[in-house]
Amino acid sequence: MTGELRASGVKVHFEGVKAVDGVDLNLCQDEVLGLIGPNGAGKSTLVNALSGFVKTTEGQISVGDHDVTKWPPYRRARHGLTRTFQSVRIFMALSTSENVEAAAVAAGLGRREAKQWAGEVLERMGLASRADVLASALPQGEERKLGVARALATRPHYLLLDEPAAGLNESESEALVTSLREIRQAFGCGLLVIEHDMRVIMSLCDRIQVLDYGKTICNGTPEQVRNDPAVLAAYLGTEEVTLGAEG
């Protein structure tokens, strides 16, 4: 798969509510894109539209040369577009390794290949030493990393992460960021990251797209976004503060 994940003029309206209102977005396979904005800006709705979990009102979504606008989620996943959810979806009664193997088998790998691939994914995510531990026994930081590992087991070209650091403390967030930095090089997939923790966004992302009221108000480097008056006004309610790595 080459090319980009691309959204053109995407709108998602719910009974008159313009949750997403004409958004363009593109993500390359060698890029980490942050998606931020105040609560209700349309971030999760846009990711749901990209991954096929809500229907678009207007617009087009493509993966490489494929128009996937009307494709169901499972078909998009088979063409390299995978996502995680705010609430981690893992099998608590299975081990860490079995969770990743199950995702790999569901993506079409044989049992032996799935087991080998799961080992590689867990190594990259820093979970190899926890392979035989039940998922129910993992601390929250490792549980979050396991959710990402399960998504990676499907061998995505584009991985959409919805608040991967939610509920994590500072050290857990730093460990997650370290693992996510490895993904682009190790797995060759682009990342789209929704996250409220600005330390994660500013340190991880090559580019940041900012939504407000369902529209894009800024799209640029972390430095450009940090100093954009429209972003400061919309995201923080004032133009007199700095959106920095600590904010």
Q: What is the pLDDT of residues 156-193, one digit of tens each?
A: 999 999 998 888 888 888 888 888 888 877 888 999 99
Residues 175, 182, 169: CA angle, nearest 5 degrees: 15
User: Exposure pattern of 32-47 as b/e (b: 16+ CB <10 Å)?
Assistant: bbbbbbeeebbbbbbb
Taking the model in full, what pTM does it have? 0.88
Token match 């923080």: residue? Answer: 236
Q: What is the pLDDT of residues 86-116, one digit of tens each?
A: 777 889 999 999 999 999 998 889 999 999 9
Q: Is the pLDDT of residue 242 over 80?
A: no
Q: Is the dihedral angle over the CA atoms 199, 204, 209, 214 positive or is it negative?
A: negative
Of 172, 237, 160, nearest to 199 by C-alpha is 172
Between 140-152 and 111-124, two packed helices, what is the crossing angle to 10 degrees?
A: 130
DSSP-derived secondary structure for 30-88: T-EEEEE-STTSSHHHHHHHHHTSS--SEEEEEETTEE-TT--HHHHHHTTEEE--SS-
Q: Give me the CATH code for the 1-80+157-171+183-247 domain, please.
A: 3.40.50.300
CA atoms within 13 A on the CB side of 51: 22
- Over residues 126-147, the mean pLDDT reads 93
